[in-house]
Amino acid sequence: MATIETTPDKPATDTEGSSRGGGGVKPRLEIDRLFEALVKLEGSDLHLKVGQPPFMRVKGSLQPLKADRLGDEQMRKLCLAMLDDRQKKILELDGGCDFAHTCVVGDIKWRFRVNLLYQQGSLGMVARRVNNKIPDFKGLFLPPSIEKLCQLDQGMVLLAGVTGSGKSTTIGSMLNYVNQNYRKHILTLEDPIEFVFTEDKCLINQREIGTDVKNFEIGMKHAVREDPDIILVGELRDVETFKTAIHAAETGHLVYGTIHAASASSCIGRILDLFPQEEHPAIRSAIAFNMKGIVAQKLLKSIKPGVSRVPICEVMFFDVLVRKYVMEEQEHLLADHIKKSTRDGMQDFTQSLKSLIDQGLIDRHDALEIAPNREALMMALKGIGVT
């Protein structure tokens, strides 16, 4: 069980306020003690639920703190203090609210992606710590071939995975690669903003949904008039967001986005599910001719000292055959094509797991537990069937 030391409230030190954006100095909040503990314990997530003590996810494992169980009134006092009037209205109307929160730990300003929710009539909270430093490819142990997706001039690139699979960190790393190597204009539309970029060679504008612009649709409508080279659209969650994103790709922009899907090949079906059947041929064509690559990602605990978790990545580039399979409704052939195209930089989850085992980054048993095809991984570790 994790331990937590609470300290008296200190004078205000956070000049950014309890949400994103500017504003004057705001007082330190009571909940900041929990965020400070999350940082000190090197945890990734903070969970608050009425009737339970605070929980933190440390090294992938959810652990309760040695603290009293939270009551309804205490929960509301802790959580609502972070919200402005607009966010309070969203919470009451929608039953949930997403925003970014900032607090200072030591001399460092830390950001957290926060979701407030109601469950069984009680308020609850889940917050994820956002790394202050955006790791590079080497630091994230990503496949080198992903760099190809940072060197494009136009098209669409998707990061796929479930919540908490590291998609935002990977995209942040990719954008920072561009920032360090090219002179371009990067425009992001995020809900909420997670990584705050420090401009290097690029000009970077970051817009937060609900604060800087009303919604993704309006933000994308404005974006194509703001001379961006690269647009980050956050999560592709509905028809309008995808349509505006693919239109931006068609008109010469490079568009990055995330999507909830288990694998690179299943992304196609996930996108099509957003649309009525009669629109599928047009959407297939748009995907085939504008998508440049899909990276599907999962996280697994690392056994290497100093490394918390590492991404297992499936990488699919849209070559001639991938485009053909998408157009001809043959997505079932994509997985086999990925496996056979390692010379072109593609890889499936089995090949990724084997590579991480060979590098001494993950445990063999853990890899076999998470492997989509356990038998294929066992054969690969014996040197059978690996190209």
Domain boundaries, the chain: 32-130, 137-381
Chunked into runs of 10 residues, the chain (387 residues) has average pLDDT values of: 43 38 60 95 94 93 94 96 93 93 89 94 94 83 95 97 90 95 96 89 93 86 91 89 91 95 94 96 97 97 91 97 97 96 95 96 96 94 71
Helix or strand run (H / E) with residue 169: helix 167-181
- The token pair that represents 154 in the structure block: 């136009």
Cα separation, 317 vs 348, in Å, equals 12
Q: What is the dihedral of CA 377, 379, 383, 387, to 10 degrees?
A: -60
pLDDT of residue 352: 97
Q: What is the pLDDT of residue 26?
A: 56
- Report how far Cα 85 is from the mean position of its chain's Cα atoms: 27
pTM equals: 0.80
pLDDT, residue 272, reads 96
Instruction: Give the strand pairing for 230-235 and 254-259.
Output: parallel
- Residue 357 CA to residue 348 CA, distance in Å, equals 15
Instruction: Judge whether 209 and 252 are in contact, CB under 8 Å.
Output: no
Superfamily designation of domain 137-381:
P-loop containing nucleotide triphosphate hydrolases (3.40.50.300)
> Which of these CATH numbers, 3.10.20.30, 3.90.1140.10, 3.40.50.1820, 3.30.450.90, describes 32-130?
3.30.450.90
Residues 346-382 have pLDDT tens digits of: 999 999 999 999 999 999 999 999 999 999 999 999 8
pLDDT score recorded for residue 385? 61
Strand ranges, E, within 217-290: 230-235, 254-259
